[in-house]
Amino acid sequence: MLGKRLLPWDYGVRNLFRRPTRSALTFGGLTIVVLLVLVVVGFIRGLEKSLTATGSPDVVLVYSLSSAADIENSSIPGRTAALLSASVDGIRRTHGVECTSPELYLGTRVATASLEQPGMGVVRGVTTSAPLVRDRVQLVEGSWPESGQVMVGRLAHSKLGASEKDLVVGQQVEFDGKTWTISGRFTAAGSAFESEIWAPLADLQTTLKRQDLSLVAAKMDSPDRVADVDIFCRERVDLELKAVAESAYYASLQKHYKPVRMLGWVVVALVAGSGVFAGLNTMYGAVAGRIRELATLQAIGYRRRAILLTLVQEATLLACAGALAACVIGLLLVDGLAVRFTMGAFMLRVDSVGIAVACGVAALLGVAGALPPAAKAMRLPVVEAIKAI
Amino acid sequence: MSLVDVLNVTKEYANGDETIRPLDGVSLSIHEGDYVSLMGASGSGKSTLLNLIAGIDQVASGEIVVAGTDITKLSRGKLADWRAAHIGYVFQTHNLIPVLTAYENVELPLLLLPMSAAERRKRVEIALEAVDLTPRASHYPRQMSGGQEQRVGIARAIVASPTIIVADEPTGSLDDETTEQILSLLSRVNDELGMTLLMVTHDADAGARARRQVRLERGRLMENGKETKATTLRTA
Question: In this predicted model, what pLDDT tens digit does every residue of B20-36 receive, in sequence order?
Answer: 888 989 999 999 999 99
Test B80 with A297 for CB contact under 8 angstroms.
no
pLDDT of res. B234: 46
Query: Are residue A286 and residue A160 in the same domain, yes or no?
Result: no
Between A339 and B8, the higher pLDDT residue: B8
- pLDDT tens per residue, range A284-318: 877 888 889 999 999 999 999 999 999 989 888 98
- pLDDT tens per residue, range A256-292: 778 888 888 888 888 888 877 877 777 787 788 888 9
Q: Identify whether A209 is part of a domain.
A: yes
Q: Which of B91, B99, B109 has its CB closest to that of A301? A: B109
CA B76 to chain A, closest CA, distance in angstroms equals 8
- pLDDT tens per residue, range B151-185: 999 999 999 999 999 999 999 878 888 999 999 99
- pLDDT tens per residue, range A2-12: 444 889 988 98
**Separation of alpha carbons B82 and B74, rounded Å:** 9
Q: Can you give the residue ranges of every domain in chain B?
A: 33-56+76-214
- pLDDT tens per residue, range A121-164: 999 999 999 999 988 899 999 999 999 999 999 989 988 888 88
Strand segments (E) across A127-249: 138-142, 149-153, 172-175, 178-187, 196-200, 215-219, 241-245
Provide, as residue numbers in chain B, all residues whose Cβ is less than 8 Å from the Cβ of A292.
93, 95
Query: Are residue A35 and residue A74 in the same domain, yes or no?
Result: no
Q: What is the ipTM of this complex?
A: 0.92
Q: Identify whether A19 is part of a domain.
A: yes
**Separation of alpha carbons B112 and B228, rounded Å:** 35
Kind and range of the H or E element at A92? none
Mean pLDDT across chain A = 87
Test A8 with B98 for CB contact under 8 angstroms.
no
- pLDDT tens per residue, range A103-119: 999 999 999 988 888 99
Query: Are residue A28 and residue A79 in the same domain, yes or no?
Result: no
Q: Which of these, A237, A204, A232, A202, lies nearest to A218 by C-alpha position?
A: A232
Chains A & B: contacts with CB separation below 8 Å? 74
Q: Identify whether A238 is part of a domain.
A: no
CB under 8 Å to A18, separation ≥6 — which residues? B98, B99
Q: Identify whether A333 is part of a domain.
A: yes
**Separation of alpha carbons B88 and B68, rounded Å:** 17
CB under 8 Å to A336, separation ≥6 — which residues? A347, A348, A349
Mean pLDDT across chain B = 91
Helix (H, G, I), strand (E, B) or coil at A143: coil
Q: Mutation target for A interface from B81, B95, B101, B169: give the one with most A CBs within 10 A.
A: B95
Query: Are residue A34 and residue A83 in the same domain, yes or no?
Result: no
Among A193, A221, A249, where does a domain finish? A221
User: Is the distance from CB of A295 to CB of A388 less than 8 angstroms?
Assistant: yes
CA B226 to chain A, closest CA, distance in angstroms equals 29
Helix (H, G, I), strand (E, B) or coil at A330: helix
Domain of residue A11 covers 3-52+257-385
Q: Identify whether A152 is part of a domain.
A: yes
Q: Which residues of A touch B (CB under 8 A)?
A: 4-5, 7-8, 10-11, 14-15, 17-18, 292-293, 296-305, 381-383, 386
- pLDDT tens per residue, range B49-73: 999 999 999 999 999 999 999 999 9
Q: Identify whether A320 is part of a domain.
A: yes
Query: Are residue A208 and residue A86 in the same domain, yes or no?
Result: yes
Given pLDDT bands bounded at 50, 70 and 90, which one contains residue B235? very low
Domain spanning B33-56+76-214: CATH superfamily = P-loop containing nucleotide triphosphate hydrolases (3.40.50.300)
- pLDDT tens per residue, range A159-211: 888 888 999 999 999 999 999 999 999 999 888 889 899 999 999 999 999 99
Test B80 with A18 for CB contact under 8 angstroms.
no
User: Is the distance from CB of A132 to CB of A94 less than 8 angstroms?
Assistant: yes
Query: Are residue A91 and residue A190 in the same domain, yes or no?
Result: yes
pLDDT of res. B142: 95
Query: Are residue A296 and residue A197 in the same domain, yes or no?
Result: no
Q: What is the CA radius of gyration of chain B?
A: 18
Query: Are residue A186 and residue A273 in the same domain, yes or no?
Result: no
Cα angle for residues A129, A131, A132 (degrees, 5° grid): 65
Given pLDDT bands bounded at 50, 70 and 90, which one contains residue B139? very high
Query: Are residue A208 and residue A147 in the same domain, yes or no?
Result: yes
Query: Are residue A299 and residue A189 in the same domain, yes or no?
Result: no
Q: How many domains does chain A have?
A: 2
Query: Are residue A118 and residue A179 in the same domain, yes or no?
Result: yes
Nearest residue of A to residue B87, measured between CA atoms: A300
Query: Are residue A287 and residue A184 in the same domain, yes or no?
Result: no
Q: Identify whether A24 is part of a domain.
A: yes
Q: Identify whether A301 is part of a domain.
A: yes
Q: What is the sign, positive or negative, of the torsion defined by CA atoms of A125, A131, A137, A141?
A: positive
